[in-house]
Amino acid sequence: MITDINRLSGLQKAAILFSVLGEGLALTLVKELSKTDIRKVRASMRELDNVSFAVKKRVMEEFYFSFVSEKFHEEESDEPKKPFNFLEEITDEQLIALVKPEADSVAAIALAQISGERRNKIMSRLPSESKGNIIMEMGNLNEIPLEAIVNVANDLHKKSKFLPKTIAFSRGGGKDVAEILGGLSSDEETQFLENISRENPDLAAEVKKYHLTWDVLFEILPDSTIRDLMNSVELDTIALALKGMPEDIVNRVIENLPKKKQAMFEPVEGAVAKREVDGARKDIVAAARQLEKDGAFNLADLVGGGEMVE
């Protein structure tokens, strides 16, 4: 296995670049290669033994710095340049989002430009496997050409303009999972809920605070809310949704219908496609979610407080 980058020729480094990126993408970075050179690179790719991840990483970084140095050029100015000033204009969380996907050497360049206190806060939020590498890279920044550092700053500055505002960052968690589950089919919804409950009970408990399902409606909602809910949907939808439900739930729904709807209610007889029943139930769940948005009840309070039906 190749573990020492210093023993590689330029041709071998190009071969590693091609093997990592693929020939199409690599050629966009190394445009000056002739057809003969490309054939030599292909032959070298076949001859290379196993290459360690560390060597591949260093090769990629070398080509990266070479690429950005050629691509970006600052206009001359008599005023002192402060290429990393933009780092002071973004929040810590935006800075983390900016450097996380970058190579450790690039992250080290960026973090070396900020105050020690802020740097420590950022480092504490980065993956543990990157921290040691970034620290080592900071110790070797004097080996990187000044032009390359300035051009890295230009590249990061451009990328920073596409960062979302802090308020747009999603924290994930139960609420986001609940929103995703709400858009799935009933079978998928049930399957994923079961998987979450089995693999991560704490997350499942959090999801339940935000995720309404057909069955949950009758477990936690009081009769007064059931009454408002059923009064907000069509009778045909209610009848279809109740197809195959236990008798006690069917009776409870009927009892909470307005007198006129009670008299008109007719159960759905005969075979019905499951997707039609599931669709009717999702319509009622959607109406329940709208009631919650309107302030009729708070699902998190009902689930968290263990409130039972009346």
Give me the average pLDDT of each 10-residue run along the chain (310 residues). 76 81 72 79 82 80 61 45 86 89 90 90 85 84 80 90 61 68 76 81 80 83 90 92 92 91 90 91 90 84 51
Q: Is 76 within the bounds of a domain?
A: no
Domain boundary, last residue among 123, 143, 168 = 168
In this predicted structure, what is the pLDDT of residue 145? Answer: 78
Same domain, 183 and 289: yes
Give the CATH number, domain containing residue 252: 1.10.220.30
Range of the domain at 112: 85-168
75-96 burial: b if 16+ Cβ within 10 Å, else e: eeeeeeeebbebbeebeeebbb
In this predicted structure, what is the pLDDT of residue 170? Answer: 46
Tell me the pTM: 0.42
Same domain, 155 and 119: yes
Which residues, 6 or more positions from 281, have their beta carbon under 8 angstroms from its beta carbon?
186, 214, 241
Q: Is 80 within the bounds of a domain?
A: no
Domain boundary, last residue among 142, 168, 194 = 168
Which residues, 6 or more positions from 148, have their beta carbon under 8 angstroms from its beta carbon?
65, 68, 69
Same domain, 110 and 188: no
In this predicted structure, what is the pLDDT of residue 304? Answer: 59
In this predicted structure, what is the pLDDT of residue 72? Answer: 46
In this predicted structure, what is the pLDDT of residue 165? Answer: 61
Same domain, 286 and 181: yes
Domain boundary, last residue among 121, 140, 168 = 168
